[in-house]
A and B are shown apart, each in its own frame.
Chain A
Amino acid sequence: MNKWEIAATVLAAGTVPCLAVCALAGAMHGLAALEVAGVVATAILMLLSEGFHRQPFIDLALVAAPLSLVGALAFARLMEHEL
Chain B
Amino acid sequence: MRDLVSTVLLVAGVAVLVLSVLGVTLMRDAYDRLHYVGLAGFGALLVGVAILVQESWSLIGDKALAAGALLVLAGPVLVHTTARSLRVHEYGSWESGIRGYRDRGPAPDRNGGRHAPGARTHGAGPDHPPSDDEPRRPAR
Per-residue interface assignment for chain B, residues 28 to 42, with 1 indicating a CB less than 8 Å from any chain A CB and 0 otherwise = 001001101100110
Q: Are A33 and B25 in contact (CB under 8 A)?
A: yes
Contacts of B22 in A (CB 8 A): 17
Docked complex: B1-31 residues within 8 A CB-CB of A: 7, 10, 13-14, 17-18, 20-22, 24-25, 30
With A36-B21, A80-B85 already in contact, the answer to whether A58 and B64 are too (CB < 8 A) is yes
With A46-B51, A65-B71 already in contact, the answer to whether A35 and B78 are too (CB < 8 A) is yes
Contacts of A4 in B (CB 8 A): 10
- Say whether chain B's binding surface is mostly helix, strand, loop, or mixed: helix
Q: Are A17 and B21 in contact (CB under 8 A)?
A: yes
CA distance A58 to B106 in the complex (A): 57
The segment out of B52-60, B97-105, B109-117, B120-128 that lies at the interface is B52-60
Question: Closest approach, in angstroms, between the C-beta of B92 and any C-beta of chain A?
Answer: 10
B: interface residue count bin: 35 or more
A: interface residue count bin: 35 or more
State the B residues within 8 Å of A (CB): 7, 10, 13-14, 17-18, 20-22, 24-25, 30, 33-34, 36-37, 40-41, 43-44, 47-48, 51, 54-55, 58-60, 63-64, 66-68, 70-71, 74-75, 77-78, 81-82, 84-86, 88-89
